[in-house]
Amino acid sequence: MVAGVQDCDSSGDIASQRSRNITLSRTPMPAKRPPTASPASTPKSKKPKAGQSNLDAFFGGSASASTGSARAGKNSDKGSASPSKAPKVSSLVAHEVIDVDLLYEDKSTIASSSGSLAPGVSTLQVADGRIALNRSLTPAALASPTKAKYAFMSADPNNSHSYQSLAVDPLAFGISNAPWPPNTAAPYSFLSHTLSTLSETRSRIVILNTLTNCLRTISRYDPPSLLPALYLMSNALSAAYLPIELGLGPSLISKAIQASSGLTSAALRQLYNSTGDVGDVAFQAKSNVRTLIPHPPLLIIGVYDALLKIANAKGTGAGKIKQSIVEKLLVAAKGEETRFLVRTLSMNLRVGAVRTSILTALARAMALTPPATIVSGSSEKSAYRVDEDVQEAAKSTPVDDAVKDVVNQKLAEAESLVKQIFVQHPNYDDIVAALLDGGLGCLSEKVPLTVGEAGIPLHPTLGSPTRSLDEVYERLGDLSFAAEYKYDGQRAQIHCEATAGKVTVRIFSRHLEDMTSKYPDVVSLMQEIFAHDSRLQSCILDSEIVAIDPADGALKSFQELSNRARKDVQIADVKVCVGIFAFDLMYLDGEILLEQAFRRRRMLLRERLPPFTASSPQAGVARFGHVESCESEDGREAIEEFWMRAVESRCEGLMIKLLDSGDAPEEASLKEKEKEKVRRKPLPATYRPDKRTSAWLKLKKDYVAGLGDSLDLV
């Protein structure tokens, strides 16, 4: 049984199962979405994700399709389209009650019990061919909406929560009382309340306040739900380098909505044409569904566990298992839970909670409210914790500037720490475990840079576009730099570690995807390099994998490389030879080099990992080398000649990298230029994960040719 989800397959006699029923009130629905049906939140111009596009196709057209011409089928069961005969929801059944538990029973079970059915109760065929109990409401109940409401809605106060606003300033937010019953897990309704608030605004301040107050509340009153909440907010199930995907098709989601609402595919398509969002479709489809005896409320941790079960369902019958879990979730969902549950299933939350906002909110939440797992008065309190007396002082009117400065400084330090740790170790599991165990003060110690078997990729440094060599010299001034070929290949972060005679190699893409099984020849080559030099213990390389000619090592185009399978490649099947062109070294033999200048990192790379060609037949013909480069000390004429060679080769252009940290000229205003005042800004030559730094300048042929910024995704 999934935590927080009613097990509709549990054993029990038919009479007891009939006690939980759903009312489908088939009143005519307007063609256009009522203003109150959904938060006016969703950015209309946001490009849908792949899953949403599939759902668009399934429901028959884009959201921009005219509502008046919404297509519906002559035969609604088949879902065919006809503009002249749009299905009306009111034409299906006037009012009926569906026993949702019997959606999971077979026809023989229901038939065997039909003799004991109450008068007026019959079987009903539902969306996907299964049958349930159909009980028509009495005329008296239909004539009295109030009585019908109380007859088919739960009066259980624990089933419906009313939450305070999360959008207020965190210092003014009331955290003293739990918003759900004491000693119980956080309900999914609280998270859907958070997502609903987020979807109603584009204000960064409101978004951060909402996320911060949500995470503070969960960490204080239900710490085990903090990690699932972060993943659900992030619209993910795991870290980017772990291949865990839901694997839900649009047809399966549509069938689950039909089964939980009783509507046909044609009716759902009509709703989609008027709303343009699959979550809104599910919300409206279930808006008239009521329960006699409610299902237990969904829990945050229960929903997350259910999604993991969906992702882990493999092999024969996996589709039925997934659909069963989705249907159970939708049956138990209420109100806004339905909207955001379906958006989660379609991998398109449509809220403004990006990764940076979530990390900022997590840091603020930990600084303002320590988790319930941390003993009050711990040593963690002094470094990043905003003491309660300071928080109280900040609530006074007017706020003392000194108090405000203390709060802002503490929050800024906490944010910087959490972001720094995440880009070096992008795994919420480890970060949340460390925060709940020791707070912000122990985070750096408990979540280190990781290599080897448990290697975790760090976010790569990114370069800033530039248009010409003149602009390069203008931006860097007299600072020393190296110009390197920008190869037309696939960026690869390579982790290697030698332990007990075994060399573990893992390869990650620019987007942190695990590519180890795609490049067995690279794995074998790196293992041979480590075997050749016993001094090497571990390293993390930044490199470019490029297709090459095995005869002379000449560069080939990226299209040659793209023909390789994405995973489970065998060395014997390798048809395209590759070369590894290393250009940076972030970790070597236990030493983290991120804060070292590029000049030293480059020197260590060339000294400790020289060019190498595999000798073992099992290693294929993969080669290891360094990017071809030229330094500014060689003079501008040499740099210009090097640029022309790059243009004539199969390279995309040049990467210009600052060798040593320094102060570069900052772009000045016209008034300052007239006064011949030049401001300087610090320009670090360190490796800065997840930063598009001005210390790395990207000069591509496309830019110089005036074609504008090209899409550099590899």
Residue 103 φ/ψ, nearest 5 degrees: -65, -25
C-alpha count within 13 angstroms, C-beta hemisphere, residue 681: 10
Left if phi > 0, otherwise alpha if psi is -120 to 50, otherwise beta: which for 262?
left
| Dist CA 451 CA 665 (whole Å) | 38
SS3 438: helix
Q: What is the 3-state secondary structure (H, E, C) of 630-663?
A: EEHHHCHHHHHHHHHHHHHCCCCEEEEEECCCEE
Q: Which of these is catalytic: 328, 419, 486, 657?
A: 486
- Give the side-chain half-sphere CA count within 13 A for 425: 20
| Token pair belonging to 389 | 């007396």
Q: How many CB atoms lie within 10 A of CB 183?
A: 8
Query: Treating both helix axes as pointing N-terminal to C-terminal, what angle do 401-424 and 355-368 enclose, rounded to 10 degrees?
Result: 130
Parallel, antiparallel, or unpaired for β 462-465 and 692-700?
parallel
Beta partners for 579?
Answer: 546, 623
CB count within 10 Å of CB 573 equals 10
For residues 346-382, b (16+ Cβ closer than 10 Å) or e, as one string? bbbbbbbbebebbbbbbbbbbbbbbbeebeeeeebbe
CA 597 distance to own-chain centroid: 32
Query: Is residue 167 within 8 Å of residue 209, measured between CB atoms?
Result: yes
- Distance between CA 188 and CA 190 in Å, rounded? 5
CB-CB contact of 487 with 627 (8 Å) = yes
Task: Round to whole Å and give the CA distance between 542 and 582.
Answer: 6
Q: Which residue bears the tokens 């007396």?
A: 389
Report the SS3 class of residue 481. strand
Query: How many CB atoms neighbour CB 118 within 10 A?
Result: 8
Locus of tokens 């800004």 = 681
- Tell me if 489 sits within 8 A of 652, measured CB to CB: no
* Cβ burial 402-412 (10 Å sphere, 16+ → b, else e): ebeebbeebbe
- Strand, helix or coil for residue 524: helix
**642: phi > 0 → left, psi -120 to 50 → alpha, else beta; which?**
alpha
DSSP string covering 40-67: TT--TTPPP-HHHHHHHHHHTS-TTS-S
DSSP tag of 171: G
681 annotated active-site? no
- In whole angstroms, give the CA distance from residue 215 to residue 360: 11
Q: Which residues pair with 680 in a beta bridge?
A: 665
In sequence order, what DSSP letters do the residues of 560-610 get, joined into one string? HHHTS-SS---GGG--S-EEEEEEEEEEETTEE-TTS-HHHHHHHHHHHS-
Among all residues, which ones are annotated catalytic? 486
